Amino acid sequence: MGNIVAIVGRPNVGKSTLFNRLTQTRQAIVNEEAGTTRDRQYGKVEWTGKEFSLIDTGGWVVNSEDVFEDEINKQVQIAIEEADVILFVVDVTNGLTDLDDDVARILRRSKKSILVIANKADNFGLHPMSAEFYSLGLGDPYCVSAINGSGTGDLLDKVIELLPDEKPEDWDEKLPRIAVVGRPNAGKSSLVNAFMGEERHIVTDIAGTTRDSIYTKYDKFGLNFYLVDTAGIRKKGKVNEDLEYYSVIRSIRAIENSDVCVLMIDGTRGIESQDLNIFSLIQKNKKGLVICVNKWDLVEDKSQQAITYYMNTIRERLAPFKDFPILFISALTKQRIFKVLETVKKVYENRQSRVPTAKLNEVMLPIIENYPPPAWKGKYVKIKYITQLPTGVVPSFVFFCNLPQWVKEPYKRFLENKLRENWDFTGTPINIYIREK
């Protein structure tokens, strides 16, 4: 859970191509330009039943007019601070460059697991050329070709072997884990502090093996859960850097280690693109969601119209997933703080809730009969039976029918909406599977 592997290296050694190969996507834009995108370089890699997050640091640094080397050093620093394993990519066809040496110098000082990846070894004739990378002093180079995939299996085996095990001591699996996420300065720390209140002694901190997610156990007012706190752990002055992408990497880790995310939005600024990025991370990871519009004490117009307008805007920006609670709070004046905790608890319960099969069929089958899936080339789709899967992190429903391939996205969304109308799944995503009987 929540292991992070980072890719570093100078421009144009194929970091994005390697990222796409390992995540089996084409989401990183592969381009000759350095520093092409920012929010794209985050993906999940699954190998031999284990999973980790891969980040391509290349995109986290915005390349302004300043010197290239500074930028790369920053990326490497971030990787060293944030990642469990670092993949240092070099280019076999170009051989060693001064820039590679500089990166290696920083990496050698760190105590992290580092693998040298000799990329662009597209055929075996090129493998002997990787020998010069031994001089980097970082162990055996792994010859891979991100373009055709050769050598990536051995590489992944090695990465999995190096990842730390992630179980904090005296850890209670059954308690919900809550993460407070949001842009810098949206008021995350204030909210966490308001939760904790003065009676700090009730709260016990359990540090996970991930250096930075601190699980704070919270048991007051009959509530019992862990707060996954990632804010404010970084030593100031270590990297005097734009906080934005630090916060994104931090959010990744917090979101992955949680069950329900509280997304803080600054009420005085409205929804910004960074909020949407964090929202899509929550979506990708299928986590529960509660949205808190913070700093409500500073907003002038608090009329019902304003609130309704605000809520509709948020739901529109975050469509198609609209079924989540929105609270207007002030962490400073502690307005509706307790409501946040109650809502989080409710969302967590919704995630766990089970609908008896008999009830499901009794309610849903008549609805489906009245609105059957559209016919396809004269073939009628008949949904005969519905059941909820016993396991799964998210409520998952299976609809059995004769022609599953003809049931398209819009109809699945219709089914999801009907489920939500009849049962309370507020704040949690739902999976819908159509299977052959």
User: What are the DSSP calls for 169-191, one per residue?
Assistant: SS--TTS-EEEEEESTTSSHHHH
Tokens 């969302």 correspond to: 347
pTM over 0.85: no
Burial, 399: exposed, middle or buried (Cβ in 10 Å; 0-12, 13-18, 19+)?
A: buried
207 falls in which pLDDT band (50, 70, 90)? very low
Alpha helices in 171-326, H assignment, sequence order: 188-196, 243-256, 273-284, 304-317
Query: Six-digit token pair at 200?
Result: 């700090």
Is the predicted pLDDT of residue 70 greater than 80, yes or no?
Answer: no
Query: Six-digit token pair at 188?
Result: 């995350």
Q: How far apart are CA 390 and CA 140, in angstroms?
A: 46
pLDDT: is 379 or 72 the higher one? 379
Minimum mean pLDDT range among 126-130, 137-141, 185-189, 415-419 = 185-189
Q: How far apart are CA 161 and CA 58, in angstroms?
A: 25
Query: Six-digit token pair at 264?
Result: 């803080």
Is the predicted pLDDT of residue 175 greater than 90, yes or no?
Answer: no
Query: Six-digit token pair at 63?
Result: 């390349």
How many Å is the Cα radius of gyration of the chain?
A: 24
In this structure, how many other beta carbons lie within 10 angstroms of the beta carbon of residue 192? 19
Minimum mean pLDDT range among 31-40, 93-102, 261-270, 358-367 = 31-40
Closest listed residue to residue 181, CA positions, set 168, 191, 166, 171: 191
What mean pLDDT do residues 279-291 have? 87
What mean pLDDT do residues 354-382 have? 88
State the average pLDDT for the chain: 78
Buried b (16+ CB within 10 A) or exposed e, 375-391: eeeeeebebeebbbeee
DSSP strand pairing (288-294 vs 260-266): parallel
116 falls in which pLDDT band (50, 70, 90)? very high
Q: How far apart are CA 108 and CA 138, in angstroms?
A: 7
DSSP strand pairing (223-229 vs 177-182): parallel
Phi then psi for 177, rounded to 5 degrees? -115, 125
Local structure of 225: helix, strand or coil: strand
Q: How far apart are CA 415 and CA 381, in angstroms?
A: 14
Tokens 């007019």 correspond to: 65
Closest listed residue to residue 85, CA positions, set 139, 129, 48: 139
Rounded to the nearest 10°, the torsion over CA 429, 275, 299, 260 is 40
In this structure, how many other beta carbons lie within 10 angstroms of the beta carbon of residue 130? 21
* pLDDT, position 267: 85
Tokens 């920083």 correspond to: 106
Minimum mean pLDDT range among 156-170, 309-323, 356-370 = 156-170
Is the predicted pLDDT of residue 433 greater than 70, yes or no?
Answer: yes
225 falls in which pLDDT band (50, 70, 90)? confident
Q: Which amino acid appears at position 59 of this protein?
A: G
**Which positions ≥6 away from 206 have C-beta within 8 Å?**
168, 169, 170, 171, 214, 215, 216, 217, 226
> Are 388 and 423 a contacting pair, CB within 8 Å?
no
Name the percent of the chain lying above pLDDT 70.
79
Q: Which amino acid appears at position 224 of this protein?
A: N
Closest listed residue to residue 190, CA positions, set 261, 292, 280, 310: 292
pLDDT: is 366 or 257 the higher one? 366
Name the percent of the chain lying above pLDDT 90.
10
Q: How far apart are CA 192 and CA 164, in angstroms?
A: 28
DSSP strand pairing (177-182 vs 260-266): parallel
Q: Which of 1-15, 66-80, 317-331 is most confident?
A: 317-331
Give me the helix-helix angle, 337-352 and 188-196, nearest 10°.
90
> Are 58 and 41 a contacting pair, CB within 8 Å?
yes
Minimum mean pLDDT range among 107-116, 182-191, 251-260 = 182-191
> Are 40 and 15 a contacting pair, CB within 8 Å?
no
Minimum mean pLDDT range among 177-186, 230-239, 303-312 = 230-239
* pLDDT, position 202: 38
Rounded to the nearest 10°, the torsion over CA 390, 391, 396, 397 is -30
* pLDDT, position 243: 52
* pLDDT, position 37: 42
* pLDDT, position 215: 66
* pLDDT, position 358: 92
What mean pLDDT do residues 324-351 have? 86
**Residue range 259-282, pLDDT digits in tens:** 899 998 888 888 877 788 788 888
pLDDT: is 80 or 104 the higher one? 104
**Residue range 37-61, pLDDT digits in tens:** 444 467 778 888 788 888 887 654 4
